[in-house]
Amino acid sequence: MTELGPSSEALSDPEYRAAVVDLIGVLAYGELSAFERLAADAAMAPTVDDKAALAGMATAEYRHFCALRDRLVEFGVDPQDAMTPFRAAIDGFHAHTAPSDWLEGLVKAYVGDGIGTDFYREISAYVDPQTRDLVVAVCGDLGQSQFVVDRVRAAINADPRVGGRLALWGRRLVGEALSQAQRVAAERDALSTLLVGGVDRPGTDLAEIGRMLARLTENHARRMAALGLAA
Amino acid sequence: MTELGPSSEALSDPEYRAAVVDLIGVLAYGELSAFERLAADAAMAPTVDDKAALAGMATAEYRHFCALRDRLVEFGVDPQDAMTPFRAAIDGFHAHTAPSDWLEGLVKAYVGDGIGTDFYREISAYVDPQTRDLVVAVCGDLGQSQFVVDRVRAAINADPRVGGRLALWGRRLVGEALSQAQRVAAERDALSTLLVGGVDRPGTDLAEIGRMLARLTENHARRMAALGLAA
């Protein structure tokens, strides 16, 4: 990934700083929500081992949340204030994509989180190195990929009709994620300027945004294929 | 606490070893369930800060679960096999004591977990030092006490009727815990021999069991009083 972002000195610019606080705030609330959702999925697990695996993923999300919250505190920002603007969009996403069973929960953990972390990693190209390192660290794979792929493929092998249902579910997850992302972009000007640029900061152009969307779509299709699902 | 348990060599006795595996198995499944339940309570939290606090407690329970699971693996036991016998009793406890709101969840985290960890600490007097250290470590206070006390007292100050409702709730938690504990004691002979003794191991007498129950009851009353509730 090319480094397009400003240097760390940019954090003294109030507009840029507000944008970074927004970015960390939305990520922090996203991680806290991911924790809750994975923990709820653990309750649907068919075996104690599966339960423990989901609980372990949830715990990793919580650690990411803590790293983001600590950064907000370093900035002298109340973490709750930084997260609250994003509560409606993220709660809305989860309310509209509540898994009805264990397999839907697994697909959501892999496909839904995958497109989210890809997006944040793309955004991280446009921020200062210190913020970028944090974003990249909390967007790393939690090791859940192979676990989810194994479980979902086994379920489709056992009953191929499951594949059709989960493919529809994957499309619904992406649609809902895009709709909530648009809501956030429309409401949070500061955050949007990370991509489009500010007074003294270069942004990106429409062609690069198009390429970014193409990369996100390709990665999504790759993940669906790994699960044995039509994107 | 006096040390009444056997030395670590006792682990070579198959009957004693089975009892210790049972003890660690029930504790492990209890911690995994506590993780799930605290995470579900986090979803009911009124503020993002409260949500984060509950998520932090849940994560600590998960770490305890991991320590117990690792010990089972050291014993060459499949953790799932060791936990499964206790699933019905612990799931039953949680099914019968599902909190209907945030405050009931907090009281359960403090009063319900409190009586559980007190009981396991009492039992730990009757096991080898290695097992005792593990039990005592996973039964430590997770730092939630002050948080819960503050929140519950504030709620009762704001509306004293809340105190009556939560006092009834606390009594129900203890009743349900005792009923599930009896179920476990009746079904798991090996576990019961930790208290009553085995062929080559001294157990305890009825008078000491009576004193133990008195200590558990006193500690429970102390916790209820700390919350401002009648025991």
CA-based nearest residue to B174, from B219, B141, B228, B210 = B219
Would you say residue A213 lies in a domain?
Answer: yes
Chain A residues touching B47 at Cβ < 8 A: 80
**Closest Cβ–Cβ partner in A42, A62, A84 for B59:** A62
User: Has residue B219 got a pLDDT over 80?
Assistant: yes
Single-letter residue type at A13:
D
Which member of A40, A52, A66 has the closest CB to residue B32? A52
Tokens found for residue A171? 């499309």
Tokens of B70: 């690792």
Structure tokens at B80: 């799932």
Q: What is the pLDDT of residues B11-65, one digit of tens each?
A: 888 888 999 999 999 999 999 999 999 999 998 899 999 999 999 999 999 999 9
Is B199 or A209 the better-scoring residue by pLDDT? A209
Q: Is residue A166 part of a domain?
A: yes
- The answer to whether A58 faces chain B, any CB pair under 8 Å, is yes
Q: What is the CA radius of gyration of chain B?
A: 18
Terminal-to-terminal C-alpha distance of chain A: 25
pLDDT of residue A87: 92
pLDDT at A185: 81
What local confidence, expressed as pLDDT, does residue B2 receive? Answer: 52
Q: Between B167 and A144, where is the model more confident? A: B167
What's the CA gap between A224 and A116, in Å, rounded? 14
* pLDDT at position A106: 95
- Name which of B32, B43, B63 is nearest A36 (Cβ-Cβ): B43
B151 falls in which pLDDT band (50, 70, 90)?
very high
A32 with A86: CB under 8 angstroms? no
In chain A, residues with a C-beta closer than 8 Å to the C-beta of B52 are 32, 65, 69, 79
Indicate whether B3 belongs to any domain: no
Q: Which of A116, A115, A127, A120 is nearest to A203 (CA)?
A: A127
3-state SS, A143-194, equals CHHHHHHHHHHHHHHHCCHHHHHHHHHHHHHHHHHHHHHHHHHHHCHHHHHH
Q: Is residue A2 part of a domain?
A: no
- Percent pLDDT > 70 in chain A is 97
Residue A231, pLDDT > 80, answer no
Q: How many CA atoms lie within 13 A of B5 on its CB side?
A: 25
Residues 6+ positions from A98 with CB-CB distance below 8 Å = none
Which pLDDT score, from 0 to 100, does residue B192 have? 82
How do residues A78-112 score in pLDDT, each as one tens digit?
999 999 999 999 999 999 999 999 999 999 999 98
* Cβ-defined contact of B58 to A39 (cutoff 8 Å): yes
Write out the DSSP string of chain A. ----SPPGGGGGSHHHHHHHHHHHHHHHHHHHHHHHHHHHHHTT-SSHHHHHHHHHHHHHHHHHHHHHHHHHHHTT--HHHHHGGGHHHHHHHHHHT--SSHHHHHHIIIIIHHHHHHHHHHHGGGS-HHHHHHHHHHTS--SHHHHHHHHHHHHHHH-THHHHHHHHHHHHHHHHHHHHHHHHHHH-HHHHHHHH--SSS----HHHHHHHHHHHHHHHHHHHHHHT---
- The span from the CA of B195 to the CA of B190, in Å, is 10
Range of the domain at B89: 12-227
A95 falls within a domain: yes
Is B185 a residue whose pLDDT tops 90?
no
Cα–Cα distance measured from residue B100 to residue B217, given in angstroms and rounded to the nearest whole number: 25
Q: Is the ipTM of this complex over 0.90?
A: no
Cβ distance A55 to B63 less than 8 Å, yes or no, reads no
| Residue A221 within any structural domain of the chain | yes
Asked whether residue B100 carries a pLDDT value surpassing 80, the answer given is yes
* Partner-chain residue, chosen from B42, B80, B84, that has the shortest CB–CB distance to A36: B42
Helix/strand/coil for B224: helix
Q: Are A48 and B35 a contacting pair at CB < 8 A?
A: no
The pLDDT-based confidence of A2 (bands split at 50, 70, 90) is: low
Return the structure tokens found at B115: 């009586």
Which positions in chain B touch A48 (Cβ < 8 Å)? 29, 32, 79-80, 83-84, 87
- Tell which wins on pLDDT, A77 or A186: A77
Whole-number pLDDT of residue A15: 86
Decide: A100 and A111 in contact? Cβ < 8 Å: no
Across the range B69-78, mean pLDDT stands at: 95
The rounded mean pLDDT for chain A is: 89
What mean pLDDT value characterizes chain B?
89
* pLDDT higher at A154 or A1: A154
Task: Name the pTM for this structure.
Answer: 0.84
A-proximal residues of B, 33-52, CB under 8 Å: 35-36, 39-40, 42-43, 47-49, 51-52
Question: CA of B84: which chain A residue's CA is closest?
Answer: A48
Find the mean pLDDT for residues B83-98.
Answer: 93
Looking at residue B74, the DSSP 8-state letter turns out to be H
pLDDT tens for each residue of A59-74: 999 999 999 999 999 9
Three-class DSSP category at B204: coil
- Phi then psi for residue B69, to 5 deg, are -60, -45
pLDDT of amino acid B193: 82
As a whole number of angstroms, the distance between CA B138 and CA B141 comes to 9
Tell me whether residue A90 is in a domain: yes
Question: Could you give the number of structural domains in chain B?
Answer: 1
CATH, residue B153: 1.20.1260.10
Distance of CA A228 to the CA centre of its chain: 22
pLDDT at residue number A203: 74
What would the pLDDT profile of A200-228 be if each residue is shown by its tens digit?
A: 777 777 788 888 888 988 999 999 999 99
Q: Cβ–Cβ of B35/A49 closer than 8 Å? A: no
Does residue B5 form part of some domain?
A: no
What does the pLDDT read at residue B3? 58
